[in-house]
């Protein structure tokens, strides 16, 4: 049971969508496509190679699938449907193309550090069947796309109103700002690494630009992208009150909040900041000092 228990929240989230009046059909289509995608792109390669890094290909393209399914099968206001669908397609496609590039260049021929860290966690938890644990992990990622990560898209795209809410405007502003921040952080780090390589310096700490205020500004910005979608979904969720059972309506609201919670946990503890820093401290002599002066996740002034 210890292998399968992590799946329970995501199975529950998908089941909730499947029993709704509004999302049963689209959730079934999305869920089956996600499981097919992950079976072919993640589960099978992981089984053959013993590496979980293929999750980095399956997960973003799964977001693209959510966007496409939302656009094709949602019945809400066409402009609203198009905006949220494009947001998912663009974000997923951008990360997915980057993952394919990593695959093409051979960077996925060895396990990514965050997944090596996950295997260490399994060992500590007594999960000795690594092959099974990797398959469960792959399925979990697919179920996340079938469940909670689809909540904002499906809820927003079900709203038939042509009136734009202040929450939607705020969500769009935060989404765009966060996307710019994430792109800028990635660009600054890439520029820093190129500069260090050209100067012959190795294992240095990137502490320029946004990286002076957060040790992981890209992860923070990615989290804010999802918070923006949750905020934008609030008026559309409220509109479901008249069409869904009160219990289902309330659980959908809880599910929206869990999007933020799950993404925070993922980006900080699960495959994000904590695993990255475990190896950074070992590899980069100056990283401990960087930890003492710079916030890990939330941007803020440097500590002295």
Span of 38-47, 172-181, 196-205, 223-232 with lowest mean pLDDT: 196-205
| Cα angle 95, 96, 101; round to 5 | 95
- What's the 3-state SS for 123-148? HHCCCCCHHHHHHHHHHHHHHHHHCH
Distance CA(289)–CA(293), nearest Å, equals: 7
pLDDT score recorded for residue 1: 73
Q: In this model, does residue 199 exceed pLDDT 90? A: no
Residue length of the chain? 304
For the chain, the average pLDDT equals 95
Exposed (0-12), middle (13-18) or buried (19+): which is 111, by Cβ within 10 Å? Answer: middle
Smallest CA-to-CA distance from 63 within 167, 146, 123, 119 is with 146
Percent of the chain past pLDDT 70, that is, above it, reads 100
pLDDT score recorded for residue 283: 92
- Give me the mean pLDDT over the 169-186 stretch: 97
Instruction: Copy the structure tokens of residue 153.
Output: 């898209």
Exposed (0-12), middle (13-18) or buried (19+): which is 295, by Cβ within 10 Å? Answer: middle
Distance CA(201)–CA(196), nearest Å, equals: 5
Band (pLDDT 50/70/90 cuts) for residue 2 is confident
pLDDT score recorded for residue 19: 97
pLDDT digits (tens, 9 = 90+) for 82-130: 999 999 999 999 999 999 998 998 888 899 999 999 999 999 989 999 9
Distance CA(156)–CA(61), nearest Å, equals: 20
Band (pLDDT 50/70/90 cuts) for residue 197 is confident
pLDDT score recorded for residue 236: 98
**DSSP secondary structure letter of residue 208:** S
pLDDT score recorded for residue 203: 86
Exposed (0-12), middle (13-18) or buried (19+): which is 79, by Cβ within 10 Å? Answer: exposed
Kindly compute the dihedral angle of the four CA atoms of residues 264, 267, 273, 278, in this order, to the nearest 10 degrees: 110
Q: In this model, does residue 3 exceed pLDDT 90? A: no
Distance CA(262)–CA(10), nearest Å, equals: 10
Q: In this model, does residue 164 exceed pLDDT 80? A: yes
Report how far Cα 300 is from the mean position of its chain's Cα atoms.
23
In the three-class reduction of DSSP (H, G, I as helix; E, B as strand; rest coil), residue 180 is classed as: helix
Residue 221's contacts (CB-CB under 8 Å, 6 or more residues apart) are: 178, 179, 181, 182, 185
pLDDT digits (tens, 9 = 90+) for 17-75: 999 999 999 999 999 999 999 999 999 999 999 999 999 999 999 999 999 999 999 99
pLDDT score recorded for residue 36: 97
**DSSP secondary structure letter of residue 240:** G
For residue 297, CA distances in Å to 176, 270, 273 come to: 19, 14, 8
Q: How many CB atoms lie within 10 A of CB 212?
A: 17
């Amino acid at each position: 049971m210890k292998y399968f228990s992590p799946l329970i929240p995501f199975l529950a989230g998908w089941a909730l969508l499947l029993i709704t009046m509004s999302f049963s059909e689209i959730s079934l289509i999305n869920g089956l496509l996600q499981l097919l995608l992950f079976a072919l792109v993640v589960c099978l390669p992981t089984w053959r190679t013993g590496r979980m890094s293929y999750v980095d290909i399956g997960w973003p393209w799964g977001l693209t699938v959510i966007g496409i399914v939302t656009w094709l099968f949602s019945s809400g206001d066409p402009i609203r449907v198009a905006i949220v669908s494009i947001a998912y397609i663009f974000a997923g496609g951008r990360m997915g193309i980057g993952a394919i590039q990593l695959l093409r260049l051979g960077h996925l021929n060895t396990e990514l550090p965050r997944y090596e860290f996950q295997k260490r966690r399994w060992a500590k938890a007594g999960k000795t069947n690594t092959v099974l644990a990797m398959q469960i992990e792959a399925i979990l990622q697919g179920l996340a796309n079938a469940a909670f990560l689809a909540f904002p898209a499906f809820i927003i795209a079900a709203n038939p109103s042509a009136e734009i809410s202040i929450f939607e405007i705020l969500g769009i502003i935060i989404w765009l700002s966060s996307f710019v921040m994430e792109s800028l952080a990635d660009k600054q780090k890439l520029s820093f690494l190129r500069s260090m390589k050209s100067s012959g310096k190795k294992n240095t700490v990137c502490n320029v630009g946004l990286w002076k205020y957060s040790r992981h500004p890209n992860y923070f910005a990615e989290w804010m992208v999802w918070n923006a979608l949750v905020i934008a979904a609030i008026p559309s969720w409220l509109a479901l009150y008249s069409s869904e059972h009160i219990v289902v309506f309330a659980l959908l609201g809880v599910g929206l909040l869990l999007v933020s919670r799950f993404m925070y946990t993922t980006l900080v503890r699960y495959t994000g900041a904590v695993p990255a820093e475990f190896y950074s401290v070992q590899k980069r002599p100056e990283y401990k000092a960087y930890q003492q002066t710079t916030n890990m996740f939330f941007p803020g002034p440097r500590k002295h």
